[in-house]
Amino acid sequence: MDTKTKLISAAELLFDRHGFTATGMDKLTQAAGMSSRTLYKHAGSKTALINDVLTERHRRFQQCIEVDSVDALFCALEEWVRVEGSRGCLFLRAYGETGGDTPEIADALRAHKAALYEKIQEIVSLETSGRHPELAEQLLVLFEGATATAVYRGANAITSARIAASALIQQARE
């Protein structure tokens, strides 16, 4: 694993577990096993590192949801939570901790959520043989709500959302 990848991986674990503000550069250097000079050489700044972490998280998440049905989409979320944990959306947490005032983080959030919505629209189109923006919006709300609710209710929240999403798809087919 190269130095930058090692740094991003260590930073993601710390940011996800402890938050962005509470994770200082000293914790990052210790977790990545590198000097502060090496960290700054590869990260540039904390904001740049946060952006790199979000970019990598987005790449992995998009890979995870590369599915073609609503049922598979929610199953993918269940698997994501099983592997990654259920602490809520890292993008929303980054945006919230920075007050929405950091353009790179705001852009990362918008791009991530736009890609998720596009994926849901694609799945809706495949499953219903048509474009249904209102249904896609409803499924997005169920998906996002399940992500947030899993923090305190566990994976059962995602299962409930999956059942509701399947019912909405079935209703759209009729």
The CATH number linked to 32 is: 1.10.10.60
Which residues lie closer than 8 Å to 99 by C-beta, 6 or more apart?
none
> Do 81 and 153 lie in a common domain?
yes
The Cα 45–Cα 47 span in angstroms is 5
Is residue 131 in a domain?
yes
CB neighbourhood size of 21 (10 A): 10
- For 72, the domain range is 54-173
Task: Say what the pTM is.
Answer: 0.93
Per-residue pLDDT of the chain (174 residues; tens, 9 = 90+): 788 999 999 999 999 999 999 999 899 999 999 988 998 898 888 999 999 999 999 999 999 999 999 999 999 999 999 999 999 999 999 999 999 899 999 999 999 999 999 999 999 999 999 889 999 999 999 999 999 999 999 989 999 999 999 999 999 998
8 Å CB contact between 86 and 29: no
